[in-house]
Amino acid sequence: MYFSYVGDIDDPDFHWDDAEDAPSGGNLPRRIMPEQFHSLGVGVDFMQRMIKEQRYGARQLDWGAWGLKMTGAEIRALLIDADTEAAAFAVLDPAKLYVLIVAEDV
C-alpha cells in the first residue's frame, strides 16, 4: 500500500540533494497537502516512469519513497482534472518548488 502527497522541499530534515546521506528510511519532507491520512492517488508505476523518462528530477529518496521536484503550477497541471477539487491546491504557490511524494505505507 502506498500514499502520495505534496511535501516541503525546504524541510531541514529532508535530504533532496544528498539522499545518500539521508536515513535508510524516513527521508520524507513535511506534508503540505493533502491533510494527513489522505492521498493524492499518485502511484509507484507513475514515479518509475518519471524516473525512466528523467522528468522533474525524479528519484528514489529512500528504500520505499520516490519524489518529483515540481512547482506548484506543475503539480496543479498534473493532478487537477474533472474529478479533483481545485480549491484543495490553492495552498500551493505556483512558482515555489515542492516535492510530489509517493511512499510505502508501513
Residues 52-106: pLDDT tens digits? 999 999 999 988 899 999 999 999 999 988 777 788 899 999 999 999 999 988 7
> At residue 36, does pLDDT exceed 80?
no
pLDDT at 75: 96
CA 15 – CA 27 distance, rounded (Å):
7
> At residue 23, does pLDDT exceed 80?
no
Q: Which of 67, 73, 75 lies closest to 34 in space, CA to CA?
A: 75
Where along the chain do its domains lie?
Answer: 2-104
Q: Is the dihedral of CA 106, 14, 100, 49 positive or negative?
A: negative
> At residue 21, does pLDDT exceed 70?
no
Listed range (3-17, 27-41, 60-74) with the worst mean pLDDT: 27-41
Q: Phi-psi category of 94—alpha, beta or left, where left has phi over 0 and alpha has psi -120 to 50?
A: alpha
| Global pTM value | 0.90
pLDDT at 1: 87
pLDDT at 19: 59
pLDDT at 27: 85
Is residue 25 within 8 Å of residue 63, measured between CB atoms?
A: yes
